[in-house]
Amino acid sequence: MYSSPSTTARLLITCLDQPGIVYHVTEFLFQYGANITMLDQYTTDPIHGTFFMRLEFETVHLTLSSAQLSSCFATQVAKPFNLQWQINFASTHKKMAIFVSRHDHALMELLWRWSRKELAMDIPCIVSNHPDLAHFAKSFSVPFYHIENYPAIKTTAEQQMLALLTEQEVDGIILARYMQILSPEFIQYFEHNIINIHHSFLPAFVGADPYRQAHHKGVKLIGATAHYVTSELDMGPIIEQDVIRVSHRLGPKQLQVLGMDIERQVLARAVKWYLQDRIIVYENKTIVFDAH
Amino acid sequence: MYSSPSTTARLLITCLDQPGIVYHVTEFLFQYGANITMLDQYTTDPIHGTFFMRLEFETVHLTLSSAQLSSCFATQVAKPFNLQWQINFASTHKKMAIFVSRHDHALMELLWRWSRKELAMDIPCIVSNHPDLAHFAKSFSVPFYHIENYPAIKTTAEQQMLALLTEQEVDGIILARYMQILSPEFIQYFEHNIINIHHSFLPAFVGADPYRQAHHKGVKLIGATAHYVTSELDMGPIIEQDVIRVSHRLGPKQLQVLGMDIERQVLARAVKWYLQDRIIVYENKTIVFDAH
Amino acid sequence: MYSSPSTTARLLITCLDQPGIVYHVTEFLFQYGANITMLDQYTTDPIHGTFFMRLEFETVHLTLSSAQLSSCFATQVAKPFNLQWQINFASTHKKMAIFVSRHDHALMELLWRWSRKELAMDIPCIVSNHPDLAHFAKSFSVPFYHIENYPAIKTTAEQQMLALLTEQEVDGIILARYMQILSPEFIQYFEHNIINIHHSFLPAFVGADPYRQAHHKGVKLIGATAHYVTSELDMGPIIEQDVIRVSHRLGPKQLQVLGMDIERQVLARAVKWYLQDRIIVYENKTIVFDAH
Amino acid sequence: MYSSPSTTARLLITCLDQPGIVYHVTEFLFQYGANITMLDQYTTDPIHGTFFMRLEFETVHLTLSSAQLSSCFATQVAKPFNLQWQINFASTHKKMAIFVSRHDHALMELLWRWSRKELAMDIPCIVSNHPDLAHFAKSFSVPFYHIENYPAIKTTAEQQMLALLTEQEVDGIILARYMQILSPEFIQYFEHNIINIHHSFLPAFVGADPYRQAHHKGVKLIGATAHYVTSELDMGPIIEQDVIRVSHRLGPKQLQVLGMDIERQVLARAVKWYLQDRIIVYENKTIVFDAH
């Protein structure tokens, strides 16, 4: 049901552009029996630019173990070419925590897709600063943790959350309309691994109540933006955005109802691409390979 | 070819909401032989809200002249109900000046649609601060005026332009990528009758070089916004917006090329709706009736 | 939460176009204290065309009961002008049965929106030819009826379903991916009150397995269509359609997964408009008033 | 102004999937100083599927001439791996004939983009079965040939056209709303090099007057399709499609006016991708690499 079978692996590379990279990388994979099934590559500039590549390959005929492959790649290719890189195996699911507050729509969308095996992740926990959505988590058999969080107790709350996430070896966090701001210290533990859904077309309408802002401004399209969380509010690298047409007839409340449809779709796509290792962050922007 | 025949008239109304407005207005039209062919109405709030209505009616069987109809409406309906209103007859084309600088795409789109009778307007003049597009104007047989304009001579330039527009009894101005800022004094002469196309999804990327701003930010959609010009730069009431999907592969120059397609479409729609009397401005926003 | 408050009523009218209809209808409503909050009107042709109108009005200050209003309207307006018409009061929810088979996505979307009060309907029953989704219905506390249905037993099955629907005084049926064809006799009981979601952009790809057909054809967009069911398969009046961009990379299975997102949105919109009395059928097409 | 500089070349490959293809191809290019700037690859199935690849590379540091590179590639790579392939150099523009009848919108769009250097092609001739658009061609300084064509004289007309195209060494033909059907014999001379714009979302509304068909059916979106011409009418491989939302208010004539906007955009994109060697035909479908 997942879009790539569990015998697939993905290699992500960032480096200075230089002749022969594709050749050397593909030679390495060919030598050890990795059959490339998808390759996408991008260079900011052919002369002294930055080079990005994403490869998918079949692991069935590998002549090395997964660990050996990674270790050989490090020595034989990554080091000589000074690559930033990662290899991930589709058989190992990422462990994702979901943070929510009271709105259920983003959580519902994620859990429903996950239960249908559209999203290849494990969900060790749902964390919320409110108890409201506990039943929701329960109906999908996912552990729910109610950890109160407001400015006065943020430090304690974040320590509690961090302890939980560490214990469960969480790889990343999805903020499915979590209405508390996380501290730079907390964010730093999961750099470029926290995905937020903001309910506007960023950079328009940063901050609180963007639907009211959009209504006040009289825009003819409203949108949603999935982005990585950084220490600057709503300013992290954008992963995905979409919009829907609206008319003067709709008040802020109705914009919110329509907008939730876009939020759900945009967040689900961003999470899917994250899980499929399609995203590289570069200069506070994202390279998203071969999406859809 | 125009979407409404020349025997049509349009009535636009703004007033405080109160019971019976639709009834009294339609009674008036019925009495004098005006057959309503389209009616669209909107209220911000049924209790003490603001009421907006646009009516199209056939004038073939009118028992009064156009002038008499307007005058009777003023006395019999508009005054008792304290309406802001206008009646426009499709047979009288609006006179529109087009202002351009060096980019030809928006001008080309307008002239081509105008020559096919998609846009029901007269174009007494094209005004530019550069001579570059004179041949373009000429190939459509529209008078072209090169009036230099830069900050140091703005006052003089605007006086010259104003003299020209006054002489030609211009109703409105289309800024088809005119790269000079007009003074509040000039704008005031044509309040809510100057349409600008801004090459971003406003309110994101106000000001200069929005494609570069969009590229720097890494947005996944770029857009264009047609709006009425007010004294605050890029902040006037939005008439129409649209977007197109872009990827990390595209540099600022390529965003600009793609964006021009959206600019052309968005400006053409806004102008069409303006010419068809579909737009009412209210609280720095627009009501756009029955668009498309 | 619903877009129109429970003190609202809607009047739908179809008739031959003739001068004065709007005036006479609005005069009637004004006389009896109904304050019009929305009016949308459409004529196929101002001369001898067909006239359609949808009105929303506030019922708070009505000087008649609901029943009296309807009865007076019949005598004083509908009869003299030979109108087809209906008045519905928002306080009376429509009773909708949902039919499903094994796919859960359309059902999930409807139940979730219904539970959030986005869809103003009662759901007396979910009917399925398979037992699979019983738990789903249960988690939303909606009665679930497993009624087997395949060609050989269709007559019996439909009698059973009809008995159930009659007993529960069902107004309409939503086919949320119900994979059996209903007989013309059954359909006739609910003419223009059965909404189906077809998983293609009709009229392309009528019939079975449209995603496979779309993949085979190599289309660059896939779509979904909500339509009223008529006796001719997939040929009833179209209520709503939408599409999503796809690439050559996607196989039929992946088209199906992407397409489900469109199916959910399109069906939800069609049902919402049906419940808000926005749809009139005319010549196997639909007039959809003021959607969004 | 063109999206790829003139020092770029493109390599297109189709073959049976087999391990090591990417490696061998990129090794070849590395050896001879070709720096890969873009690589996109697709396999229908990793096991015994068909493999497609598009590569862009910089030719500045090539150690062979263009002709030598092609000839070496044929011997050293293409033959051993049994590849179908082509190498095209961006410095050599394709020669494209444009065929039109009376509608000017598609032609206008192409000529305008071409004059701005958005479309990297030479246009040796515009051919039309009507004289109407001669002035249009003249204003862009492109030779215009009026060659009458109707069923009774088709054979002669096509011979005349073929003579012209051969003399001018035309690579491909763009049917910018050419309203005559070309014979299979004629088409065969330019297999997969004739691009047509059809004014509907194919496969819906094949044949004549699709806007009337769309209006009759009551669809909520209308579209346009750019496709390669084959001997079966409107059934060739689809290159690009798009749609626009329409309402019940619009008659066939208005659908046509709106639809032209989509036709222009869709045809322009298809032509751009053709000129950039982004399209491979396979099983009556297209692989379109890295579009946008």
Give the gap in angstroms from C-alpha A76 to the nearest C-alpha of chain D. 16
CATH of the domain at B51: 3.30.70.260
Is the domain of A106 the same as that of A44? no
- Kindly identify which residue of chain B lies nearest to residue C53, measuring between CA atoms: B39
Query: Using CA atoms, how far apart are residues D155 and D218, in angstroms rounded to an integer?
Result: 39
Which residue in D19, D37, D42 is closest to A35 by CB distance? D19
Question: Across the interface, do A58 and D46 touch by the CB < 8 Å criterion?
Answer: yes
Residues of chain C neighbouring A290 (CB-CB closer than 8 A): 249
> Partners of C288 in the beta sheet?
C279
Average pLDDT, chain B: 95
Contact residues, chain D, for C223 at CB < 8 Å: 221
Instruction: Output the domain CATH number for residue D148.
Output: 3.40.50.170
Is the predicted pLDDT of residue B241 greater than 60, yes or no?
yes
pLDDT band at A1; cut points 50, 70, 90 = low
Of D27, D33, D39, the CB nearest to A41: D39
* Predicted pLDDT of residue A4: 75
> Are the C-beta atoms of residues A80 and A15 closer than 8 Å to each other?
no
Q: Are residues D219 and D143 in the same domain?
A: yes
pLDDT value of position C4: 75
Pick A118's closest partner by Cβ from C112, C247, C257. C257
Instruction: Kindly identify which residue of chain D lies nearest to residue C200, measuring between CA atoms.
Output: D204
- On whether both C83 and C98 belong to a single domain, the answer is no
Question: Cβ C238–D219 below 8 Å, yes or no?
Answer: yes
Check CB contact of C45 with chain D, cutoff 8 Å: no
Q: pLDDT-based confidence at C289, cuts 50/70/90?
A: very high
Report whether pLDDT(A207) > 90.
no
Q: Which helix (H) or strand (E) holds C188?
A: helix C184-189
Task: Classify strands B8-16 and B84-89 as parallel, antiparallel or unpaired.
Answer: antiparallel
Asked if D221 and C243 come within 8 Å (Cβ–Cβ), the reply is yes
The reply to whether residue C3 touches residue A254, judged by beta carbons under 8 angstroms, is yes
| D254 vs B contacts (CB less than 8 Å) | 3
CB contact under 8 A, B30 and C46: no
- How many beta carbons lie within 10 A of that of residue A138, not counting itself? 12
Per residue in A129-162, pLDDT (tens digit) is 999 999 999 999 999 999 999 999 999 999 999 9
Domain with A57 in it: 5-89
Q: Do B99 and B63 belong to one domain?
A: no
Same domain, D152 and D248: yes
Specify the amino acid at residue B283: E
- Does C291 have pLDDT greater than 90? no
Catalytically active residues of C, by annotation: 234
**What is the rounded distance in angstroms from the CA atom of residue B286 to the CA atom of residue B278?**
10
Give the residue from B70, B89, B108 where a domain finishes: B89
Chain centroid offset of residue D117 CA: 17
**CA-based nearest distance B241→chain A, Å:** 6
Output the six-digit token pair for C192: 């223009």
Chain D residue numbers with beta carbons less than 8 Å from the beta carbon of B114 are none
Q: C131 to chain B nearest CA, in Å?
A: 42
Q: Is the pTM of this model over 0.90?
A: yes
Average pLDDT, chain C: 95
pLDDT at B291: 66
A120 and A76 share one domain: no
CA distance D24 to chain A (A): 8
Three-class SS string for chain A? CCCCCCCEEEEEEEEECCCCHHHHHHHHHHHCCCEEEEEEEEECCCCCCEEEEEEEEECCCCCCCHHHHHHHHHHHHHHHHCCEEEEEECCCCEEEEEEECCCCHHHHHHHHHHHCCCCCEEEEEEEECCCCCHHHHHHCCCCEEECCCCHHHHHHHHHHHHHHHHHCCCCEEEECCCCCCCCHHHHHHCCCCEEEEECCCCCCCCCCCHHHHHHHHCCCEEEEEEEECCCCCCCCCEEEEEEEECCCCCCHHHHHHHHHHHHHHHHHHHHHHHHCCCEEEECCEEEECCCC
* C6 band by pLDDT with thresholds 50, 70 and 90: confident
Residues of D in contact with C243 (CB under 8 A): 221, 243
pLDDT given at position D48: 85
Question: Given CB atoms, is D218 within the 8 Å cutoff of chain A?
Answer: no
Interface of B with D in 53-92 (CB under 8 A): none
CB atoms within 10 A of CB D32: 17
Which of C204, C240, C247 comes nearest D201 by C-beta? C204
**Are A29 and D36 an interchain contact pair (Cβ–Cβ within 8 Å)?**
no
Helix then strand then coil, in percent of chain D rounded to 5, is 35, 30, 35
CB contact under 8 A, D19 and A33: yes
Of D23, D35, D43, the CB nearest to A26: D23
Contact pairs from chain A to chain D, CB under 8 Å: 52
Rounded distance between C-alpha atoms, residue A69 and residue D289, angstroms: 30
A88 pLDDT above the threshold of 80: yes
C32 touches chain D (CB under 8 A): no
Query: Which C positions 134-163 lie with beta carbon below 8 A of chain A?
Result: 139
Name the domain count of chain C: 2
* Contact of B259 with B224, CB cutoff 8 Å: yes
Q: Do C269 and C136 sit in the same domain of this protein?
A: yes
User: Cα separation of A15 and A27, whole Å?
Assistant: 18
D201 part of contact set with chain C, CB < 8 Å: yes
Name which of B118, B139, B254 is nearest D257 (Cβ-Cβ): B118
Q: Judge: A19–D35 Cβ closer than 8 Å, yes or no.
A: yes
Q: Would you state the pLDDT for residue A48?
A: 85
The tens digit of pLDDT for each residue in B256-274 reads 999 999 999 999 999 999 9
**Domain identity same for B70 and B152:** no
Give the chain A residue nearest D42 (alpha carbons).
A38
**Contact across the interface for D250 and B292, Cβ inside 8 Å:** yes
Gap from D104 CA to chain C (nearest CA, Å): 26
B residues 221-260 near D, CB within 8 Å?
245-247, 249-250, 254, 257-258
Average pLDDT of the residues of chain A:
95
Q: Are residues C162 and C68 in the same domain?
A: no
At residue B221, the pLDDT reads 97
| Residue A250 neighbours by CB under 8 Å, 6+ apart | A215, A258, C292
Domain's final residue, options D89, D123, D145: D89
Mean pLDDT of B94-102: 98
* CB of B219 less than 8 A from some CB of A: yes
pLDDT tens figures, B187-209: 999 999 999 999 999 999 998 89
Identify whether residues C65 and C99 lie together within a single domain. Answer: no
Locus of tokens 């293809």: D21
Size of interface B-C (CB pairs under 8 A): 52
User: What residues of B are labeled active site?
Assistant: 234
Task: Name residues of chain D where pLDDT drops below 70.
Answer: 1-2, 291-292
Catalytic residues of D: 234
Residues B178 and B146 in one domain: yes
Of B200, B187, B182, nearest to B243 (Cα)? B200
Question: Which domain-ending residue is among A64, A89, A114?
Answer: A89
Adjacent-strand bridge partners of D227:
D196, D238
Both B164 and B281 in a single domain?
yes
| A217: closest chain B residue by CA | B285
Determine, for residues C218 and D284 on separate chains, whether the beta-carbon distance falls below 8 Å.
yes
pLDDT per residue as tens digits for the range C74-90: 999 999 999 999 999 99
Q: What is the pLDDT of residue D292?
A: 57
Identify the CA nearest to D214 among candidates D225, D204, D203. D204
For the segment A98-124, the average pLDDT, to the nearest whole number, is 96
For residue D236, the chain C residue with the least C-alpha distance is C217
